[in-house]
A and B are shown apart, each in its own frame.
Chain A
Amino acid sequence: MEILSARRRKAFAVGGLMLAVAICTMVLSLNTGTIWLSPITIVQTLFGFGDADAAMVLFDYRLPRILVCALAGIGLAVSGSILQGISRNSLADPGILGLHAGASCGLIVFITFFRSLEDPLALFIPLFTFAGGTIAALLIFLLAYNRQTGLQPVRMILVGIAVTAGFSAISLFFSLRLDEDTYSFTSRWLVGSVWGRDWENVYALFPWVTIFTCYSLWRARILDAFSLGDERAIGIGVALQRERLWLLLSAVALSSASVAMVGGVGFIGLVAPHLAKRLVGSTAKYQIPVAALIGLIILAAADMIGRTLFLPNSIPAGVIVAAVGAPYFLFLLVKAKS
């Protein structure tokens, strides 16, 4: 009991700290842009006392984009936490498992075959990425599923790598046939450029992220049970395969919805759960919220840096995340070896 409450205290302390950092990041992000607004102006405007221009900058340009980043960061981090939990593999990540590749392929197929319909992009990109992500997940599930042993974690990762390769090949094949302008939009999207920056994108993303994050928290005990190994988990009464399928689908939903708005941002799903585990341990109940906050901080900060550091040319947030995330990934690998 003593140990448990100590862990609990630590989790709340870390969670509070992360929440503070997250709020600071978002306020700082609200503060950066081409137009300089003093913090006082921002506070005034947020409470409705600013001038019209400041209100337009904050409410029309900056706030929705920051919220999309925040939600997508949470979505990717929670998706990664779930995947790492159900696969018992700390290197699992929606990008590595092939969900992003599936979603990207969905986008390329849309751009290649349906662009001429002149329909609004916002309407169709999420649909096609979700379809792509789901197909990837189903493929992984079907190929990694074995009637005797069920869904094996190691197989899942290996199949994921193959699925990624397959989808990437299809994406590459189609993208080579795109014209220059379309290709440059697509390639920016693929590396993770926050294009969803209106309130509609926030409204569209919000229910997905909240509902599936809550679902994963509700199933936190099941996720913990997975870490015991399949047999023991069954032994303590977990309907293993069914739980795993639903959690996998939640992870797909979280990552596809996020990816639809911010593009193929990798590494957050890997790094955020990892850092969270180091900070508060592997109990899912504590790990998931902390991972979500870390994901939010990473993506909001990366987008802020990407759109301000190299003006007038902004660089995609995904590039910044990868620049920091890839070395961390290697660090983990080296550390695991030694």
Chain B
Amino acid sequence: MRKFKPTVLTIITALLFSLLAGCSSSTKTPTTAQATGGAHTEKAEKIASLSIHLTNDLLALGITPVGSVIGGKAKDFLAHVADRLHNTKKLGVAADPDMEALLALKPDMILVDEEFAGQDLDKYNKIAPTHMFSLDEGTWRDHLRALGQMLNREQQAESFIQEYEAQAERVKSLIKEKTGATTAMAIRVSAKELRVQGMKRPLGPLLFEDLELQPANGVEKIQKAYEVISQEVLADYDPDLIFVIVNVEEDAKKVFEQLQVNPLWLGLRAVKENHVYVINEQPWLDYSALGSKMALDEAEKLFAK
């Protein structure tokens, strides 16, 4: 019996390495066939989008994709664009797209988001030419322009952006007139936690660049999508204007109701002056051309005289 010991130990060690080696080979070549757009123009008829945000960029250009992934939380197309995607095939969630459904569509072009699809680029390229976007690089305007160039819709892209900038100017002055606010912050209430939205997408660029609101004291340090905070520190931010996103779940609504009678909350300047605006998860958190535009549409109504 004694001599088995080293043998079994050796086998276990060898296997551990084989497991590692086997796995590592799976990801050895993160192919960088990244399309930054512009280099070539294609006339693609059937486009499949593996990012809900790129889908909405396409819609902004007047193109309906033949297939698109669905929102991971909603388990469906995002509510604010669902009526435009009646004829679009659902391809599962971005983190785990339905490859067979994608193949069955026989698309001419596939659009993917680097965050989710970066490692599987080879698989997509086998189905159709695939263009990868990094949504963290540049703004949605860059993504929209790149798409416009790729799909011969440069004109639509430019006019969409121009209209957007004009609308942003209008909303900016509406906010000024109605509230006189200069500093702002956005918080998101879920059953689990309270978040302050930071400077990065989805909400930062819209509030602090497009609408030129000043980030409330401390928000400028959050150089990411959001940070989780405790209710006690809300007072440290003390902005003129607060946007509140309450998650759709019932529990989140209860948490917000409790927050609203909390003395901490009632002591905030924005609350006292009645400058709290409740906004919806969608379109506000949909960082895309169409999502941003629809957020401005809602803002125009919120701050109307």
Contacts and interface: CB of A to CB of B under 8 A. Distances in A.
Nearest to A52: B126
Interface stretch (B35-43, B68-76, B199-207, B229-237): B68-76
Contacts, number: 93
A312 interface: yes
A184 B22 contact: no
Given A35-B103, A57-B103, A257 B19 contact: yes
A253 B22 contact: no
A112 interface: no
Interface in A146-162: none
Contacts of A313: 75, 92
A201 B18 CA distance: 11
Given A61-B99, A181-B72, A211 B15 contact: yes
A198 B119 CA distance: 12
A246 B90 CA distance: 49
A198 B15 CA distance: 19
B18 A204 contact: yes
Contacts of A249: 8, 12
A34 B20 contact: no
A28 interface: no
A181 B95 contact: yes
Interface stretch (A40-48, A119-127, A266-274, A293-301): A119-127
A203 interface: yes
A50 to B, nearest CB: 14
A61 B23 CA distance: 17
A126 B19 contact: yes
Given A120-B26, A246-B8, A312 B20 contact: no
B26 A198 contact: yes
Interface residues of A, number: 40
Contacts of B4: 246
Contacts of B166: none
A300 to B, nearest CB: 18
Interface string A254-272: 0001001000000000000
Interface in B160-203: 192
Contacts of A2: none
Nearest to B226: A179
Contact of B100 (A57, A176, A260): A57
Contact of B26 (A122, A207, A246, A312): A122
Contacts of A120: 23-24, 26-27, 119
A231 interface: no
Contact of B23 (A126, A176, A180): A126
A185 interface: yes
Contact of A312 (B8, B27, B98, B119): B98
B72 A184 contact: yes
A56 B103 contact: yes
Contacts of B72: 181, 184
B11 interface: yes
Nearest to B126: A56
Nearest to A204: B22
A208 B123 CA distance: 27
Given A57-B103, A312-B70, 17 more contacts: A33-B100, A35-B103, A120-B24, A122-B27, A123-B20, A130-B16, A181-B95, A200-B22, A204-B18, A207-B18, A208-B15, A242-B1, A243-B1, A249-B8, A253-B15, A257-B19, A313-B92
Interface of B: 1, 4-5, 8, 11-12, 15-16, 18-20, 22-27, 70, 72-73, 75, 90-92, 95-96, 98-101, 103-104, 119, 123, 126-127, 192
The 8 closest A-B pairs by CB, nearest first: A204-B22, A200-B26, A120-B27, A34-B100, A34-B101, A122-B23, A203-B22, A312-B90
15 contacts: A56-B127, A61-B100, A120-B24, A122-B26, A123-B24, A123-B27, A126-B23, A127-B20, A180-B73, A185-B95, A200-B22, A208-B19, A253-B15, A312-B70, A312-B98
